[in-house]
C-alpha cells in the first residue's frame, strides 16, 4: 500500500492525512475483495524499516492504527473477515498489542475473507524467525518445515502481488512466499486505488500463464484464476 505520503504532499497536506486516506482505501479494497470472491488478502501496513521515519510520522501511524483497530472491527465482523496480524509483536505499545489481540479474537471464527495485516513485518525477519524456530526445535531446515513455521503458515502463497505508487520493487515484503507469485505494478497512489484499479489488476493476472518452472505445453496454456492477493 504505497503512495500515501505523495498523495498528501500533492495536496499540500501533512503526510498523516495521506495515511488516513489509506485506511479508507483499505476498507474499500477489503469490501471489493469480498465481493469478487478473493479468499485471502495480505497487506503491508508497516515494515520493520518504517521505524526509521521521522518520529512524528511513526507515532501518527501508531495512533491511526490503534484507532482503526477499534473502529473497523465491527464492520469487518459483519462482513465475515478473519483478521491476522503478521509481524514482530515485541516492541509494539501496550495499546497496539492489546488492540491486535482483541481484533484477532473477535474475528477468529469468520471465514469469508482472511485479511492478513503485515505490521512491524519484514520478509527477512520472517525467514530468520522461522529458521530460528526450527533450529531451537532441533529440526532440519527443509522447505516443508519452513512453510510450517513461517508467519503466514495459515494461508497458501499469494497468486498475485499488487504494488501501488509507481514503484517496482519488493521492499522486504513476502520474500519467501512470492517465489511464484505474479506481480502487478500500479501507478495509482494507494489512496486512489479503487475498485476499477483492483479489477484491472485481476484482469491482468488472469491473462498470465503460470508455469511454475514447467513448459507452456506441459501446463496446457490454461490460466489459473484462483486468487490470493
Residue 182 lies near ligand IPE (rule: CB under 6 A) = no
Residue in the block written with cell 479494497:
29
Looking at beta carbons only, is 118 or 146 nearer to ligand IPE?
118
CA-based torsion, 74, 103, 7, 165: positive or negative: negative
Residue 50 lies near ligand IPE (rule: CB under 6 A) = yes
CB of 110 to ligand IPE, least distance (A): 25
Q: Which stretch binds ligand IPE (CB under 6 A): 1-9, 128-136, 202-210, 220-228?
A: 1-9
CB of 108 to ligand IPE, least distance (A): 26
Which of the residues 2, 120, 126, 159 is marked catalytic?
2
Question: Applying CB under 5 A, which of residues 2, 126, 159, 182 lies at the interface with Mg ion?
Answer: 2
Looking at beta carbons only, is 8 or 227 nearer to ligand IPE?
8
Q: Which option in ligand IPE, Mg ion, none does residue 181 bind, with CB closer than 5 to 8 A by kind?
A: none
Q: Which stretch binds Mg ion (CB under 5 A): 2-10, 52-60, 146-154, 205-213?
A: 2-10
**HSE-up of residue 50 (Cα within 13 Å, Cβ side):** 23
Question: Applying CB under 6 A, which of residues 6, 95, 112, 208 lies at the interface with ligand IPE?
Answer: 6
Question: Applying CB under 6 A, which of residues 23, 29, 61, 150 lies at the interface with ligand IPE?
Answer: 61
CA-based torsion, 165, 167, 168, 169: positive or negative: negative
CA distances from 60 to 70, 84, 167, 210 (A): 16, 22, 24, 41
Does residue 2 carry a catalytic annotation? yes
Question: Applying CB under 6 A, which of residues 165, 173, 181, 184 lies at the interface with ligand IPE?
Answer: 165
Q: What is the binding site for Mg ion (CB under 5 A)?
A: 2
Q: Which residues are catalytic?
A: 2, 50
Q: What is the binding site for ligand IPE (CB under 6 A)?
A: 1-6, 22, 46, 50, 61, 165
Amino acid at each position: 500500500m504505497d503512495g500515501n505520503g505523495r498523495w498528501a504532499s500533492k495536496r499540500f497536506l501533512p503526510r498523516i492525512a495521506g495515511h488516513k486516506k489509506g485506511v479508507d482505501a483499505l476498507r474499500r479494497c477489503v469490501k471489493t475483495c469480498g465481493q469478487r470472491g478473493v479468499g485471502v488478502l495480505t497487506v503491508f501496513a508497516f515494515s520493520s524499516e518504517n521505524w526509521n521515519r521521522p518520529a512524528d510520522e511513526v507515532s501518527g501511524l501508531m495512533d491511526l492504527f490503534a484507532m482503526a483497530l477499534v473502529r473497523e472491527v465491527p464492520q469487518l465482523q459483519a462482513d465475515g473477515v478473519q483478521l491476522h496480524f503478521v509481524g514482530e509483536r515485541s516492541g509494539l505499545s501496550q495499546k497496539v498489542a492489546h488492540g491486535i489481540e482483541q481484533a484477532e479474537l473477535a474475528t477468529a471464527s469468520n471465514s469469508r475473507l482472511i485479511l492478513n495485516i503485515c505490521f512491524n513485518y519484514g520478509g527477512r525477519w520472517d525467514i530468520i524467525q522461522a529458521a530460528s524456530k526450527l533450529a531451537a526445535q532441533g529440526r532440519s531446515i527443509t522447505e516443508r518445515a519452513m512453510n510450517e513455521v513461517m508467519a503466514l503458515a495459515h494461508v497458501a502463497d499469494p497468486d498475485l502481488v499488487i504494488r501501488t505508487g509507481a514503484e517496482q520493487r519488493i521492499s522486504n515484503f513476502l520474500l519467501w512466499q512470492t517465489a511464484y507469485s505474479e506481480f502487478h505494478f500500479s501507478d495509482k497512489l494507494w489512496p486512489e486505488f479503487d475498485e476499477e484499479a483492483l479489477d484491472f489488476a485481476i484482469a491482468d493476472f488472469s491473462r498470465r500463464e503460470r508455469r511454475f518452472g514447467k513448459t507452456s505445453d506441459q501446463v496446457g496454456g490454461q490460466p489459473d484464476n484462483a486468487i490470493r492477493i
